[in-house]
Amino acid sequence: MDVELRGITKRFGSVVANDNVNLTIRGGEVLGLLGENGAGKSTMMNMLSGLYTPDEGEILIDGKKVEFDGPGDGIEAGIGMVHQHFMLVPVFTVAENVVLGVEPTGKMGYLDMRRARRQVEEINEKYGLHVPPDELIEELPVGIQQRVEILKVLFRSADVLILDEPTAVLTPQEVREFFGIVNTLKEAGKAIVFITHKLHEILEISDRVSVLRQGRITGEGDPKTLTEADLAEMMVGRPVSFTTDKEPAKPGRTMIEMQNVSMLDETDEIVLERVSMSVRSGEVVGVAGVQGNGQTELVEALTGLERVASGKIIFDGTDITTASVRERHKMGMAHIPEDRHKSGMVDSFTIAENMVLNNYYAPEYSRGWAIDWNKVAETSARYCVEFDVRTPSVYLPGGSLSGGNQQKMVVARELERETKLVIASQPTRGVDVGSIEYIHERLIQARDEGDGVLIVSSELDEVLGLSDRIYVMYDGRIVAEFDNTGGKADRNAVGLAMAGAHNGDAATGEGDAA
C-alpha cells in the first residue's frame, strides 16, 4: 500500500505546524522521518492517523483521495500508529489490549477470549513477535510492551505502520531486536515510517529519509549516500559539531559520595539498593541506564528531595544525609531536574521570576521585606544574554519559550552562581540540537572550572560523549562502572550492563576509574 501526502498544511492558531508538505510512503520500504522536537513530525503523523484534519492539501492512498475525520479513520484505512507513549491498559492482558475495540464476540456481546488469544498467536507466529498473550501488560518489560503496540496495529490489518520515536525507551540490545522486527515487517510488504531524532538509527534502518524542519521538508535522500553530518545540517539548518571538545579531566578531591544508600518508595518497594558512588571535582560522571531503573531516585537522594532509608551521603566532606534541599543548595549543589515542567520551572511565571526561583531570598534581591524586581529583571536579562536564552523580554511567561530556551533558562539559573557540584538529569530532553550543543559545552565548562558534574541521561550517546567515568544503573543498583577517559568505554559493554546482563566481569574489567 502506498500513501501520498500532497501539499499538506496545518495551522494551530497563528502557528504553522506543517507547511506545504509532500511525502510518499511505499509498501516494503522504511521511510526515516527526521526532525527536532516541534518540527512538525507528530502533527503530520496525527493527520495520517485521522486525529487532525489538514487545512490544505490532500492524502492519497494508492492514488485515491481519502478524508479522515476521527481517530478511528486512519486505522480503518490501514494506517496504524505506534505512539511514543504506549496506549496500553496496564492491568489488562496482552490479548485484551490487542482486541480492545475490535473484539471477537459471541452471542449477547460475549467476549470470546479464546479466539482472541488464537488470533494473537497467529500474528505472533507470522512476524516473529514472541509476545505472551496471557501476561498482564504491567508485568512485561518495555521492549515487549512495544511489540504489543505493534501487534495491536497488525491485528487491525494495518499496511502502514507509523513508529513514533520507538527506540527512546529501549536498551541498545532491545533496539537490535526491534530492528529485526522492523525488517520482518518490511519484507512482509508493510510500509513503515520511522520517526526519530537519532541520526545513526535513521542511517541504519531506513531505505529513504526525509528531514523536517519548522514544518517544512528540508531534505530528502538515500541514507546510503548521506552522513550524520549531512542529516544534522538538514535538521538544524547549519553545520553541527557532534563531539563536545574537551580536555582530559583533572579529577581533584571527592565532591560527593554516596555510601550504601538504599531508598524505598511509598509502597515500600526498593528503588535504590545499596548504591555507592562518587563524583570528584573536575570530572564528569555519567549515569547510564534505561529509564526507571533508579536514576530518578538517585538524583532525589542526592538533592534531598526524598529521604534515604539507609546509608550516607557526603558532600565535600560534610555529611548531608539529612540536610534539607536548601541547605544543600546553599553549599553549592546545582540541580537541573529531569522534567523542567514538573520541577524545573513554573510555566506561568515570567522568565525573570523563573530565573530567581532558587535564590529570590538572597539579600541582593531584597529591598527590606520586598523583592527588588528591577534588580531581578536586570540580572535575568544578563543571564539570558550569557546563556543564549532567546526571548524578546524577560517579562514573558517561561512557558512561552521553546523547549531549548526553557532548558537554557534552567541551566542559567543553576549555574550562574558559585557551585561545587552540578547534577544534571536528562539535561537535553526535548531540546533542539543547537541548544544541546550549547548545554553540553556549559557542563564541560563547569567541570573545567573545578566542579564535579553528574549527568544522568537515558540517551547513551550523551553519557558516552560527555562523561569521564560512567556508572550503569539497573533495577535500583549500580551494576557496572566504566572508565571513559578519551571515550574508551565500550558501547556494547555499557549496553549489556543497561540490560542487566550478569556481567560483573565487564564492569570490573574496565572499571576502577582513576
Beta carbon of residue 325, minimum distance to another protein (angstroms, whole number):
24
User: Reduced to 3 states, what is the DSSP secondary structure of residue 257?
Assistant: strand
Non-local CB neighbours of 241 within 8 Å, separated by 6+ positions: 437
Residue 268 sits in the site that holds another protein (CB under 8 A) = yes
Q: Give the end-to-end CA distance of the chain in Å, rounded to a whole number.
A: 57
Binding residues for another protein, rule CB under 8 A, total 38
- Residue nearer to another protein on the CB measure, 220 or 273: 273
Separation of alpha carbons 479 and 294, rounded Å: 12
Contact at 8 Å (CB) between 484 and 470?
yes
Beta carbon of residue 90, minimum distance to another protein (angstroms, whole number):
7
- Residue nearer to another protein on the CB measure, 99 or 356: 99
Contact at 8 Å (CB) between 483 and 493?
no
> Distances in Å between the alpha carbon of 480 and those of 308, 330, 470, 507?
22, 32, 8, 5
- Residue nearer to another protein on the CB measure, 32 or 166: 166
Beta carbon of residue 40, minimum distance to another protein (angstroms, whole number):
16
Which one among 71, 128, 237, 509 touches another protein, defined by CB under 8 A?
71
- Residue nearer to another protein on the CB measure, 24 or 37: 37
Residue 445 CB neighbours (<10 A): 13
Residue numbers 85-124 binding another protein by CB under 8 A: 87-92, 96-97, 99-103, 105, 108-111
- Residue nearer to another protein on the CB measure, 427 or 500: 500
Which residue stretch of 30-38, 67-75, 320-328, 407-415 sits at the interface with another protein (rule: CB under 8 A)? 67-75
- Residue nearer to another protein on the CB measure, 137 or 212: 137
Residue 264 sits in the site that holds another protein (CB under 8 A) = yes
Residue 225 sits in the site that holds another protein (CB under 8 A) = no
121: its cell numbers: 498467536
Beta carbon of residue 208, minimum distance to another protein (angstroms, whole number):
27
Which one among 6, 11, 26, 83 touches another protein, defined by CB under 8 A?
83
- Residue nearer to another protein on the CB measure, 156 or 420: 156
Separation of alpha carbons 479 and 500, rounded Å: 7
Beta carbon of residue 116, minimum distance to another protein (angstroms, whole number):
10
Beta carbon of residue 312, minimum distance to another protein (angstroms, whole number):
16
Separation of alpha carbons 6 and 458, rounded Å: 37
- Residue nearer to another protein on the CB measure, 310 or 492: 310
Separation of alpha carbons 166 and 178, rounded Å: 9
- Residue nearer to another protein on the CB measure, 142 or 264: 264
Separation of alpha carbons 312 and 121, rounded Å: 50
Residue 479 sits in the site that holds another protein (CB under 8 A) = yes
Bridge partners (DSSP) listed for residue 455:
286, 424
229: its cell numbers: 553530518
Tell me the H-state helices in 290-402: 295-303, 325-330, 351-355, 373-386
Residue numbers 269-328 binding another protein by CB under 8 A: 269-270, 273-274, 309-310
Contact at 8 Å (CB) between 137 and 83?
no
Non-local CB neighbours of 67 within 8 Å, separated by 6+ positions: 53, 59
Separation of alpha carbons 112 and 406, rounded Å: 50
Residue 262 sits in the site that holds another protein (CB under 8 A) = yes
State the binding string over 148-167 for another protein (x if CB under 8 A, else -): ----x---------------
Chain contacts with another protein (rule: CB under 8 A) = 51, 71-72, 75, 81, 83, 87-92, 96-97, 99-103, 105, 108-111, 152, 262, 264, 267-270, 273-274, 309-310, 477, 479, 504
